[in-house]
Amino acid sequence: MNKIKSVFTTVLLLLLCTTTHAQFGARLGRAIENAAQNAAVRKAEQKTDEAVSKGIDKATNPNSYKGDGKEGNNNQSSKGGNNKNSSGGGNENGSSESQSAGGAVQGVKNVEMAYAKSDFVPGDEIIFDDPMASEKMGEFPSQWDLLSGTAEVANIGGLQCLFMEAPGTAIAPLMKNMKSYLPDVFTVEFDYWVNNYTETGKIPSQNYRLHFYNANDRDIMELEFAEGKVYWTYSTPDGEIRRGNLDMKEKIDSWSHLSVSFNKRAFKAYINGVRVVNIPSMAVPVRLNLNNTGWRDHRCAITNFRIAKGAVPLYDRLASEGKIITYGITFDVGKSTIKPESMTEISRIAKLMQENADVKFSVEGHTDNTGNAASNQTLSEARSKAVMDKLVEMGIASDRLKAAGKGQTAPIADNSSDEGRAKNRRVEFVKI
């Protein structure tokens, strides 16, 4: 009897093992199949973003850009918590060769496609501006409030800036009402220094955090960036917490440019003109602050900080005023070299002219009264011509344009304040 029981037990165990093995094999097969499908989807998405990014790089610098790579992202949501998900992404580089991704993107065919991920439009009314050029070295900058840590004016990479040396330093722009000053449509822009973080241990790393708060003083958006990564955690209008992250491309050992736009509920962020965050519905912010993280030896620096209100459509401005005043076209300091992030605004002008064949413009550059009047005149003339030449490169007939530098002769605001000088530094497209 014992032998019969032993045999029966052995057979039963063999059957169980066989069944379990078959079930495990089936589950493993399904997992491999799902993983393969997910990988295929991710690969297609990465190729699509890659092709668009390559178009941007090629359009902004068609003769010198080389390279190749991918871009990835990861988004998650939850009902609570405020922790970042550190996974996701690849890296984002460009190439002079156009590629296709399942027929979705096949190279750059026009301005609209080239700048599909670079649609930032700067606000029209400047409410805060600090180029920091007039600040005294070693002092705390006059237009800022220190919330924690230490900060001072320094010169890095040839630009005067606000240097946040101590870990955990937090700063906020000085406004009349420090608790509420952001309108329901606004933009924020500034340059931030990027150390060569690829040489780990030789140069201190960096980590910037831009915080936005609602009327109840709740932190509804934390945007963290630098070292080739962007992380964001935000609150929807109904209080749901969501988060995401993305690899990005920065200028190592140089200044990179961050731009943020908010339109009643939609939030977007851009690094060097390329969109890295696109949120369709976020709680409404009323103020902001900026800090470096306190958990590592991060030493951060910013300059050319600007907050502006609104963004009126170009044709509406042209119809009502007979000209378009823009602050979205910027240049290297003291030069007529157009910055890459300016291409979004220039492309919008080009598209307007393509859609309205009768429109002709006088491209007029203006400066503030800082420096020598003769030098300002010469610089404005060179910048006006640079913008005109760029539009001609983009297919606009040269007989529809003329360049006219105005220097400091036609201010539209008081040159005694930084905000006033910022309004005077502009490019105008005057209908002729």
Of the candidates 425, 415, 418, 336, the one whose C-alpha atom is nearest the C-alpha of residue 379 is 336
Q: Does domain 314-431 have CATH number 3.30.1330.60?
A: yes
Domain 119-309 has CATH 3.40.30.10: no
| pLDDT attached to residue 59 | 38
The predicted model gives 302-328 an average pLDDT of 83
**Spatial CA neighbour of 249 closest among 340, 169, 318:** 340
Give yes or no for residue 118 having a pLDDT over 50: yes
pLDDT in tens, 344-377: 789 889 989 999 999 999 999 999 998 899 999 9
> Would you state the pLDDT for residue 134?
83
* pLDDT attached to residue 302: 95
The string of pLDDT tens digits covering residues 370-390 is 889 999 999 999 999 999 999
Residue 20 confidence (pLDDT) = 44
What pLDDT does 204 receive?
A: 54
Structure tokens at 264: 């009643």
Please enumerate in sequence order all residues whose Cβ is within 8 A of that of 219, keeping only pairs 6 or more positions apart, or say none. Answer: 82, 211, 212, 213
368 in Cβ contact with 425 (< 8 Å): yes
Predicted confidence band at 298 (pLDDT cuts at 50, 70, 90)?
low
Which pLDDT belongs to residue 342? 86
pLDDT at 123 over 60: yes
- With tokens 């951060």, the residue in question is 300
Question: What would the pLDDT profile of 42-82 be if each residue is shown by its tens digit?
Answer: 343 344 334 434 433 443 343 333 333 333 344 444 443 33
pLDDT, tens digit, for every residue of 104-113? 333 334 444 4
Domain boundaries, the chain: 1-70+91-117, 119-309, 314-431
